[in-house]
């Protein structure tokens, strides 16, 4: 029904009815929209300018420096220069959202003062975290890089915070990995020192046996047995030569078993130490060396143009909202008047 009123006298929301209604009330609508337009302009200038700075970086895939750079076996498939993928990007996002980084930034830039939040007030930390979350954002891009965005009234502060958060992410990730690497290094170091102690004890024992004249049990036993047999055949078992050789044979027999056992164990321990030494060197590198955990694509810089607010959008949005509210208010007002008039008419009809 393309009429301004239906059978009950109420406004109908047809295109013709709406246009007719606006034409009827155009003066009121124009005045109120003009007031809304002026108010929106005034409000837009009360909002402080915010500047945005952004850091973009790729996480690395390297977790163990030694496995990548010191692997002589060629079994490692990691590339020291390879960009990280989705898993590494998600790990970086988790670290960036940690309380450690957030609290570090708050202390470093005295954000309670910067954001004008009284640290002694009720719910001060909640307000600070909410403000921090609205101004500092992290996301994984469609290219699996990580983006850090910071909004602030001061463009220099915004860029400094963004760059410092990226640097702090490096520090936190390295700290987490170094704590575990140091524990691993202590375990390997203890085993390496134990093997050195065992080898030193066995070497000292062999040196004492060698000092007694036992240098090579197998070869000495063969030579002495041949010499003893020849001395007996030549001079008899009671000759001084035979007795002297017999004394040497007794000495070799007494300490020969210990010599062989110590020699074999020493060889085994030396091989074990060589294997552990490789692990020791790798663990030491992982525990002591620092490498960046990111490859920066773009560093943040002070923005020369504000990001927020968009005053034209605020004015247009405010004016349009004023127009809509005014139209709905006038529709309601007119329908209310018609309703009252209808009730009055019905009462008069009933009274007549």
Name the DSSP letter for residue 52: E
What pLDDT score was predicted for residue 2?
42
Inter-residue contact 36 to 323 (CB < 8 Å): yes
| Dist. CA 323–CA 146, nearest whole Å | 42
Token pair in block for residue 10? 């109420």
Residue written as token pair 């007002």:
333
pLDDT tens-digit series, residues 170-186: 888 888 888 888 888 89
In 3-state terms, what secondary structure has residue 303?
coil
CA-CA distances (angstroms) from residue 115 to 73, 97, 165, 236? 55, 20, 18, 108
Query: Domain 51-184+292-298 classified CATH 3.30.1890?
Result: yes
What pLDDT score was predicted for residue 8?
44
Residue written as token pair 């004023």:
322
What pLDDT score was predicted for residue 9?
45
329: Cα within 13 Å, side-chain hemisphere: 11
Least Cα distance to 170 among 285, 62, 259, 59 occurs for 59
In 3-state terms, what secondary structure has residue 43?
helix
Is 70 exposed, middle or buried, given 0-12, 13-18 or 19+ CB atoms closer than 10 A? middle
CA-CA distances (angstroms) from residue 237 to 254, 283, 318? 20, 62, 125
What pLDDT score was predicted for residue 70?
53
- Which sequence spans correspond to the domains of the chain? 1-47+309-338, 51-184+292-298, 191-288
Inter-residue contact 303 to 51 (CB < 8 Å): yes
Inter-residue contact 167 to 79 (CB < 8 Å): no
Least Cα distance to 253 among 307, 293, 209 occurs for 209
> How high does pLDDT run on average in the chain?
79
Least Cα distance to 35 among 325, 312, 310 occurs for 325
| Dist. CA 255–CA 253, nearest whole Å | 6
Token pair in block for residue 321? 């909202």
What pLDDT score was predicted for residue 319?
85
The alpha carbon of residue 94 and the mean position of all alpha carbons in its chain are separated, in whole angstroms, by 5
| Dist. CA 137–CA 139, nearest whole Å | 7
Name the DSSP letter for residue 11: B
What pLDDT score was predicted for residue 87?
83
Least Cα distance to 293 among 103, 64, 138 occurs for 64
Inter-residue contact 149 to 137 (CB < 8 Å): yes
**Regions in the chain scoring below 70 on pLDDT:** 1-17, 44-46, 62-84, 210, 212-258, 308-309, 311, 352
H or E element, residue 147: strand 146-152
Helix axes 155-211, 86-96, angle to 10 degrees: 110
pTM of the predicted structure, to 2 decimals: 0.63
Residues 6+ apart with CB under 8 A from 9: 338, 339, 342
Strands 294-298 and 51-59: antiparallel
* Count of all residues that appear for the chain in the document: 352
What pLDDT score was predicted for residue 6?
47
């Amino acid at each position: 029904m393309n009429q301004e009123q239906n059978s009950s006298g109420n406004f109908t929301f047809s295109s013709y009815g709406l246009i007719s209604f606006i034409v009827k009330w155009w003066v009121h609508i124009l005045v109120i929209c003009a007031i809304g337009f002026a108010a929106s302009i005034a409000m837009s200038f009360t909002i402080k300018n915010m500047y945005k700075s952004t850091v973009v970086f790729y996480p690395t895939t390297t977790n163990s420096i030694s496995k990548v750079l010191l692997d002589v076996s060629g079994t490692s498939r990691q590339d020291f220069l390879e960009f990280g993928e989705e898993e590494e990007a998600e790990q970086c996002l988790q670290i960036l959202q940690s309380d450690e980084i957030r609290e570090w930034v708050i202390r470093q830039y005295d954000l309670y003062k910067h954001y004008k939040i009284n640290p002694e007030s009720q719910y001060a930390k909640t307000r600070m975290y909410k403000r921090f979350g609205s101004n500092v954002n992290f996301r994984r891009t469609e290219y699996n890089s990580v983006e850090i965005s910071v909004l602030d009234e001061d463009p220099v502060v915004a860029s400094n915070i963004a760059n410092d958060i990226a640097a702090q992410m490096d520090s936190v990730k390295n700290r987490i990995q170094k704590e575990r690497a140091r524990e691993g290094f202590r375990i390997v170091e203890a085993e390496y020192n134990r093997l050195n102690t065992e080898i030193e004890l066995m070497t000292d024992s062999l040196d004492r046996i060698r000092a007694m004249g036992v240098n090579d049990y197998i070869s000495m036993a063969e030579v002495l047995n041949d010499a003893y047999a020849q001395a007996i055949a030549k001079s008899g078992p009671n000759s001084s030569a035979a007795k002297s050789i017999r004394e040497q044979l007794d000495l070799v027999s007494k300490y020969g078993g210990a010599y062989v056992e110590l020699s074999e164990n020493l060889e085994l321990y030396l091989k074990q130490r060589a294997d552990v030494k490789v692990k020791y060197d790798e663990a030491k590198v992982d525990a002591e060396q620092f490498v960046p955990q990111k490859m920066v694509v773009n560093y943040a810089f002070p923005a020369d143009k504000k990001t927020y607010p968009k005053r034209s959008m605020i004015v247009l949005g405010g004016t349009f909202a004023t127009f809509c509210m005014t139209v709905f208010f006038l529709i309601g007002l007119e329908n209310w008047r018609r309703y009252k008039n209808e009730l009055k008419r019905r009462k008069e009809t009933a009274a007549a």
